[in-house]
Amino acid sequence: MYLSKSKYCNAVQCNKMLWLDKFMPLEKGEISNQAVLDNGTEVGILAKQLFGKYVDIPFSEHLEDMIKDTNEALKEENTVITEASFDYQGNFCSVDILVKKGNTFELYEVKSSTEIKEIYIDDISYQVYVLTQLGYNVVKSCIVYLNRFYVRKGSLELDKLFIKENVTKIVKEKQKEVQEKIEEINQYMLQKEEPKDDIGMHCMTPYECPFFAHCTKHLPEKNVFKLRRMRNSSKFKFYKQGIYTYEDLVHEKMDKKVKQQIEFELEHKEPEIDKTAIQEFLNTLSYPLYFLDFETYQQSIPLYDDVKPYMQIPFQYSLHYIEKEDDSLKHKEFLAPVGEDPRRKLAEQLVKDIPMNVCTLAYNMNFEKSVIKSLASLFPDLSEHLMNIYENIKDLMVPFYNRSYYVEEMEGSYSIKYVLPALFQDDPSLNYHNLNLIHNGEEAMTAYQNMENLSLEGQEKLRESLLKYCALDTYAMVKIWGKLKECVK
């Protein structure tokens, strides 16, 4: 079995994942996050500069070319090589950063995370195993990751942005384990028929397995893994006991909201509406009433001052508002120009668009409040107005989180992406699938980050799509608010 470090790590999580990936790749689900992949690439490129001058081994589909180039670079007594590539008996790896000092080697594995995960140790341990078996004296092993407390001020300070965690001791201790795992993988992959390995918590950690739908296809459509508000550990506990159908689960002791989801979907119950609770919520709102939604993106590598790795940076908002009862619905919006820090212009426009002492509605307000609080901290001259908006925000999610309004089609969720189609099943104007180019927050984030690379015509099309998407978010809130008002009449 030919192994790479990514394949080895897949097998550490689940041998069957590796087998399915090789022999049944069409069963693989779509769970990739392009933004995460892009961030990983950016971090890897920047980290190469940590040790000054370096020799980069260019990628080639012919691995022997990479190995040959690596061997040539290793002729230098003291050197830094990035993507140094090695093969030992079909076990291949490319080392992110390899530092050669005489006859000793230091190995650095770069991650775009802000913390070390156990799987990272498995990753670097595999690489050290390959190099050690080839006779290289690896004296130091480090995980390089981002410092979540680093705040950019002026030029990037790589020594502060990155943390180099020495994991040499634990990596040495895992060498025998790596050898045994490789032997296990090679034997496992000889199977001609699909392995019978059962599902378990390993399907979800450290990463969600793309073959989970395939491995659970023997379960009925309504099964324990479709439940909301239940820990994965509890779901697998029921499953291991042979309790996974809704019919079985309805008799088990569990959170009342989980049981409510089961009962509604089994019995197709009529909507449950607590008019008193909904009216109490509506009484907390007042005119003029503003409906606010932000779109944000994250930078793994801070491009602007006062930005930390993966900090939420707002670049857009939509604002629907009604000035008095029975008045017409009005709309304002903001989308920052590309290629510059969007926060100042957005904050200035926001305080112009939302007056002091008015009621603002958000859906899952903690997110909007965190964005506003961050802007207030960054811009003291706007802080009073921004914090006034912050203090007057109400959460439209509350009636659905509390199940004051619940229907079967919500499938146990209080997310607006479930609540909206559940309340308005036949309204195409509220269907995100009918939008052009941008259909969700992840697509919006990725589109804005990449917009600068497009032609002017391409940018204009994307701007239009971003504006329509964000406007639908707040229009959806208006419609949901209207539905709540309607149900208590």
Give the CA dihedral 472, 476, 479, 481, nearest 10 degrees: -140
Strand partners, 424: none
**Helix ranges restricted to H, 206-310:** 212-215, 232-240, 246-249, 256-267, 275-282
Q: Is residue 201 part of a domain?
A: no
Q: What is the mean pLDDT of the chain?
A: 95
| Residue 129 pLDDT greater than 60, yes or no | yes
- Asked whether residue 136 falls in the same domain as residue 175, the answer is yes
Residue 367: predicted pLDDT: 96
DSSP letter at 273?
Answer: E
**Helix ranges restricted to H, 404-455:** 416-423, 441-450
- Asked whether residue 315 falls in the same domain as residue 257, the answer is no
Please return the burial class of 159, using the count of CB atoms within 10 Å of its CB with bins 0-12, 13-18 and 19+.
exposed
- Asked whether residue 310 falls in the same domain as residue 386, the answer is yes
| Residue 41 pLDDT greater than 90, yes or no | no
Residue 433: predicted pLDDT: 87
In Å, what is the CA distance from 77 to each residue of 52, 105, 140, 314, 325?
16, 11, 17, 48, 79
CATH code of 454's domain: 3.30.420.10
- Residue 410 — pLDDT band, cuts 50, 70, 90? very high
Strand partners, 222: none
Residue 40: predicted pLDDT: 77
**Rounded to the nearest 5 degrees, what angle is found at the Cα of 472, between the Cα atoms of 454 and 283?**
145
Backbone torsions φ then ψ of 356, nearest 5 degrees = -70, 150
| Residue 39 pLDDT greater than 70, yes or no | no
- Given 188, 208, 234, the domain boundary residue is 188
What average pLDDT does range 437-442 have in this prediction?
90
Q: Is residue 263 part of a domain?
A: yes
Residue written as token pair 């384990």: 177
Q: Does a cis peptide bond (omega within 30 degrees of 0) precede residue 337? A: no
What average pLDDT does range 388-414 have in this prediction?
97
The structure tokens listed for 292 are 């606010």
Residue written as token pair 């706007």: 382
Total count of domains within the chain? 3
Q: Does a cis peptide bond (omega within 30 degrees of 0) precede residue 399? A: no
- Asked whether residue 166 falls in the same domain as residue 254, the answer is no
- β-pairing, 272-273 with 162-166? unpaired
- β-pairing, 78-88 with 91-101? antiparallel
| Residue 368 pLDDT greater than 90, yes or no | yes
What average pLDDT does range 81-94 have in this prediction?
97
Backbone torsions φ then ψ of 25, nearest 5 degrees = -65, -25
**Rounded to the nearest 5 degrees, what angle is found at the Cα of 20, between the Cα atoms of 18 and 25?**
115
- Asked whether residue 181 falls in the same domain as residue 290, the answer is no
**Rounded to the nearest 5 degrees, what angle is found at the Cα of 150, between the Cα atoms of 146 and 153?**
130
Q: For residues 424 and 386, what is the distance between their CA atoms, to the nearest angstrom?
A: 33
Domain span at residue 259? 216-267
- Asked whether residue 222 falls in the same domain as residue 291, the answer is no
- Asked whether residue 131 falls in the same domain as residue 239, the answer is no
The structure tokens listed for 167 are 């994991």
- Asked whether residue 364 falls in the same domain as residue 255, the answer is no
Q: Is 395 helix (H, G, I), strand (E, B) or coil?
A: strand
Model confidence pLDDT, tens digit, residues 233-274: 999 999 999 999 999 999 999 999 999 999 999 999 999 999
Model confidence pLDDT, tens digit, residues 135-184: 999 999 999 999 999 999 999 999 999 999 999 999 999 999 999 999 99
Q: Is residue 204 part of a domain?
A: no
| Residue 35 pLDDT greater than 60, yes or no | no
- Asked whether residue 287 falls in the same domain as residue 241, the answer is no
How crowded is residue 140: how many other Cβ atoms within 10 Å of its Cβ? 17
What average pLDDT does range 330-353 have in this prediction?
97
Model confidence pLDDT, tens digit, residues 151-161: 999 999 999 99
The structure tokens listed for 90 are 């079909």
How crowded is residue 225: how many other Cβ atoms within 10 Å of its Cβ? 18
Percent of the chain with pLDDT over 70: 98
Closest residue by Cα to residue 380 from 344, 346, 413: 344
Residue 90: predicted pLDDT: 96
CATH code of 174's domain: 3.90.320
Q: What is the largest CA-CA distance in the chain?
A: 82
Percent of the chain with pLDDT over 90: 92
Q: For residues 161 and 449, what is the distance between their CA atoms, to the nearest angstrom?
A: 21
DSSP letter at 3?
Answer: B
Q: Is residue 202 part of a domain?
A: no
What average pLDDT does range 94-108 have in this prediction?
97
Q: Is residue 203 part of a domain?
A: no
| Residue 38 pLDDT greater than 80, yes or no | no
What average pLDDT does range 351-373 have in this prediction?
97
The structure tokens listed for 8 are 């080895």
**Percent helix / strand / coil, the chain, rounded to 5:** 50, 20, 35
Q: Is residue 445 part of a domain?
A: yes
Residue 303: predicted pLDDT: 94
The structure tokens listed for 157 are 């300070």
- Residue 2 — pLDDT band, cuts 50, 70, 90? confident
Q: Is residue 163 part of a domain?
A: yes
- Given 140, 169, 188, the domain boundary residue is 188
Contacts with 314 (C-beta within 8 Å, 6 or more apart), sequence order: 294, 295, 296, 342, 343, 346, 371, 375
| Residue 33 pLDDT greater than 70, yes or no | no
| Residue 94 pLDDT greater than 80, yes or no | yes
Radius of gyration of the chain (CA): 27
- Asked whether residue 263 falls in the same domain as residue 274, the answer is no
| Residue 436 pLDDT greater than 90, yes or no | no
Residue 31: predicted pLDDT: 65
Residue 34: predicted pLDDT: 53
| Residue 60 pLDDT greater than 60, yes or no | yes
Q: For residues 387 and 367, what is the distance between their CA atoms, to the nearest angstrom?
A: 14
Long-range CB contacts for residues 413-420, cutoff 8 Å, separation at least 24:
413/228, 416/363, 416/364, 416/473, 416/476, 416/477, 416/480, 419/480, 420/476, 420/479, 420/480
Q: Is residue 390 part of a domain?
A: yes
Sign of CA dihedral 407, 409, 411, 417: negative
- Asked whether residue 364 falls in the same domain as residue 439, the answer is yes
- Asked whether residue 178 falls in the same domain as residue 237, the answer is no
